[in-house]
Structure 1
Amino acid sequence: MKLVIQGKNIDITDAIREYVTQKIEKAVSHFQNLTMEVDVNLSVSRNPRITTNQSAEVTIYANGTVIRAQESSESMYASVDLVADKIARQLRKYKEKRNSKKAQTKVEAGTILEEAPVTEDLIGDRTAQLPPEVVRTKYFAMPPMTPEDALEQLKLVDHDFYMFCNAVTGEINVIYERNHGGYGIIQPRQPSGSNGNGNGHHSNGKVERMSSIHKA
């Protein structure tokens, strides 16, 4: 397992590095077969109005799935403790759902399922050209998935939204948590002259949406 520790507005001392390594390795010890890489980002906010200004963020790349957790407190060591516990719960939930899906999947005799390869080098020789306001860039694999799978991924990354490649349409979609409950999906508009009318509607006048996805 590859463990990368980075810091923002904080000096990563040997003591902090050793503590993070110990806590994170313990948290993922039962999931070594799933975990490929673990990125840990420690940061301290310079805003004096924020009392819980010391944050620990853990991102795990597990067989093409991204699992993320973040916690903040007044102490970096406490934040590391909290995020280690949280990422362990996230991994346990992911493993349980993964095993459940395997048990429910029935493959007909003679059928061979071939997984699309996911490249390990997500950046390649690209150089990000970003506006000065953008302070961080993330690259991640985007294997095709259903909206239902994207919803599960959204819950794992602990974000308000998740971008994915729709396995049905081949388009890039965004699933997000709505302020008033439930989840929504953002899809590209159909160009004029296609099946849609350019306003996000199909020719039958109905808006395409994920009515079956609700907040658990």
Structure 2
Amino acid sequence: MEIVVAGRHTEVPERFRRHVEDKLAKVTQLAPLAQRVDVEVTHENNPKLSDVRERVELTVRAKGPVIRAEAAADDRYGALDLAIDKLVERLRRSRDRRKDHRRSYVLAPVDVRPYDAVKDVEPEPAEPSTSLVADGEAVEHQLGDSPVVIRQKLHSADPLTVDDAIYEMELVGHDFFLFIDKESARPSAVYKRKGWTYGVVQLDQQCEGLLPVSELT
């Protein structure tokens, strides 16, 4: 399993890289088919955020859904421990999921909010008209003379059922997930709500080239 450690606004010493490799040894036990783990270390320079100035993000890539966890603390070693605890919990959930696919959820419509999935590529400043062509590619541009920065990112999207979309949302640790509904062929979003309830929003348009399951049977 390949482990790739990268720093954002910070240098990552060799000692920490070796520590990461040792701590991630348990990943191979829970995810034997994992091909790669991306580790991103971010340093926050704002003194008001000293308690969470070090952030560690872990992303496990294998055949199947991406599994991700992140945490922040006042030092990167503590942040790594917290992130690994979250990652192990999600890896166990994924393993259990493979054993039993029968799960149920309470669904209700909710409002749309922006969603930013797993960070695959460091965004680069770009013009608003820039076209994204590669999976994981990301760009940022400033809105005119205002301080508003808009980030665009491209993700591959295989059609999913609502159940699978909720499952993948939980694995990346977000409260929002965009997907194409396999049943209706519509662009859709699932959300976390209070307790163990979830929401689903769909656009009243079908993705070009896809047919709803009802029309295929």
TM-score normalised by structure 1 residue count: 0.68
Contact in 1 for aligned 2:57/2:71 (Cα 8 Å):
yes
Partner of 2:27: 28
Partner of 2:119: none
Tell whether 2:204 aligns with 1:184: no
Partner of 1:100: 100
The AA in structure 1 aligned to 2:2 is K
The AA in structure 2 aligned to 1:175 is V
Based on CA coordinates, which of the two structures has the bigger radius of gyration?
A: 1
Q: 1:89 to 1:187 in 2, by over 3 A?
A: same
Tell whether 2:80 aligns with 1:80: yes
Q: How far did 1:190 drift?
A: 4.3
Q: 1:174 to 1:90 in 2, by over 3 A?
A: same
2: CA distance, partners of 1:57 / 1:28: 14
Q: 1:184 to 1:81 in 2, by over 3 A?
A: same
Decide which of 137, 151, 158 is 2:173's aligned counterpart: 158
TM-score normalised by structure 2 residue count: 0.68
Contact in 2 for aligned 1:43/1:55 (Cα 8 Å):
yes
Q: Secondary structure at the match of 2:41?
A: strand
2: CA distance, partners of 1:189 / 1:6: 41
Contact in 2 for aligned 1:27/1:87 (Cα 8 Å):
no
- Tell me the C-alpha RMSD between the 2 structures: 2.8
The AA in structure 1 aligned to 2:189 is V
Q: 1:88 to 1:125 in 2, by over 3 A?
A: closer
Partner of 2:163: 148
Q: How far did 1:37 drift?
A: 2.2
Partner of 2:141: 131
**Fraction of identical pairs, as percent:** 28
Contact in 2 for aligned 1:27/1:84 (Cα 8 Å):
no
Partner of 1:211: none
Partner of 1:174: 189
Deviates more, 1:69-78 or 1:182-191: 182-191
2: CA distance, partners of 1:167 / 1:79: 37
Structure 1: stretches of 5+ with no match in the other structure: 103-122, 192-216
Tell whether 2:61 aligns with 1:46: no
Partner of 1:202: none
Contact in 2 for aligned 1:67/1:90 (Cα 8 Å):
yes
Q: 1:32 to 1:128 in 2, by over 3 A?
A: closer
Q: How far did 1:157 drift?
A: 0.9
2: CA distance, partners of 1:88 / 1:21: 15
1:150-205 CA distance string (max 9 Å, x none): 111111111121111211122321111236873222211349xxxxxxxxxxxxxx
The structure with more strand, counted as a fraction of residues: 2
